[in-house]
Amino acid sequence: MSQSLAPTTWGPYQLEWGTRTYIMGIVNATPDSFSGDGLKQADLTVEEVVKQAVSQAQHFAGEGATFIDVGGESTRPHALRVSAEEELARVIPVIRAMRQELPPETIISIDTYKAIVAEQAIAAGANLINDIWGFQYDPDMAVVAAEQGVPVVLMANMRGIPKKRDIISDILRFLSTSIDKALAAGVEWERIIIDPGIGFGMTPEEDVTVLRRLGELRSLGRPILLGTSRKSHIGRILGGLPASERLEGTAATVALGIAQGADIVRVHDVREMLRVARMSDAVVRGSFALE
């Protein structure tokens, strides 16, 4: 587990690793999220989209989410890329409103791989950068993170890698490079979080292998974020279930991931996965109080 890791502190925030599993709720300000929970629809005004996003974030915070992860570009396979301008138009009004309406202790994460989006999102009230390319897409992203002094989630992304060998070794190499880029830019070691990138350029068999061997990533010495919620390998393993029917499969991956050392789980179903995390923490970490 992660008991030996120093806390991540910045501003008024502190994350104590190894004491419990943190929940990150997903708010997609996109029309094409794979899970069908995107908020930005053609027949809605910007104000209506913002209102829906804030309501969903408040709901998640009330259910126990420590993080709200806001994304303005779908990262599902074959999704259309959007410009930085369009992404900013989607996320900045949402983040600005969330910062005003959410409890001050709620951490708002910006899910982007574009440095300009990350920088403006932090100015609008975001507190953390979640980069699906682990600082290996936009060369300015590491500099922005260092200058802003916020924690970063560095995700391994296997898309486009021509010859994979051992999937865990591939992920470890990718993340080692990402960590080196972060440190070289001045990001503090204690503010780095890693994500194996389940579902990004992997086969279902590889996704399951990563879950089974997740604990090997602890060799990198950083907290682990796990994002399996409603992903396609769950649907395929359970006989072709659509995203809306993958709750139980997601719960299994969350529990098994915590047993392997996950410190944060990124989910669509906050209330249910918080319960799974609490039960898992009671067994794995011995952290529980009887009522």
Q: Does residue 219 fall inside a structural domain?
A: yes
Check residue 206 and give left, alpha or beta (phi > 0: left; psi -120 to 50: alpha): alpha
Residue 231 a catalytic site member = yes
* Residue of 20, 191, 246, 266 with catalytic role: 266
Residue 206: predicted pLDDT? 93
Residues 261 and 285: beta-carbon distance below 8 Å: no
Does residue 4 belong to any structural domain of this protein? no
User: What is the reported pLDDT for 80?
Assistant: 75
Q: Give CA–CA dist 4/221, Å, rounded.
A: 9
DSSP state of 2: -
For residue 265, the cross-strand partners are 23, 226
- Pick the catalytic residue: 90, 181, 231, 246? 231
10, part of any domain: no
Q: Residue 236 domain-assigned?
A: yes
pLDDT for 44 equals 78
Distance CA 125, CA 23 (A): 19
**What is the pLDDT at residue 77?**
65
Query: Is residue 8 situated within a structural domain?
Result: no
CA 284 to chain centre: 22
Residue 2 is assigned to a structural domain of this protein: no
Annotation says 163 is catalytic: no
**Domain annotation covers residue 44:** yes
Task: Give the chain's domain count.
Answer: 1
pTM recorded for the entire structure: 0.93
CATH of the domain at 269: 3.20.20.20
Q: What is the pLDDT of residue 30?
A: 81
Q: Which domain holds residue 265?
A: 19-284
Token couple for 211: 């879950």
Cα separation of 255 and 90, whole Å? 33
Residue-level pLDDT at 287: 80
Q: Return per-residue pLDDT of the chain as tens, 291 residues.
A: 555 799 999 999 999 999 999 999 999 988 744 444 545 455 678 888 899 999 999 999 999 999 999 999 977 666 678 899 999 999 999 999 999 999 999 999 999 999 999 999 999 999 999 999 999 999 999 999 999 999 999 999 998 776 678 999 999 999 999 999 999 999 999 999 999 999 999 999 999 999 999 999 999 999 999 999 999 999 999 999 999 999 999 999 999 999 999 999 999 999 999 999 999 999 999 987 676
The confidence score (pLDDT) of residue 34 equals: 44
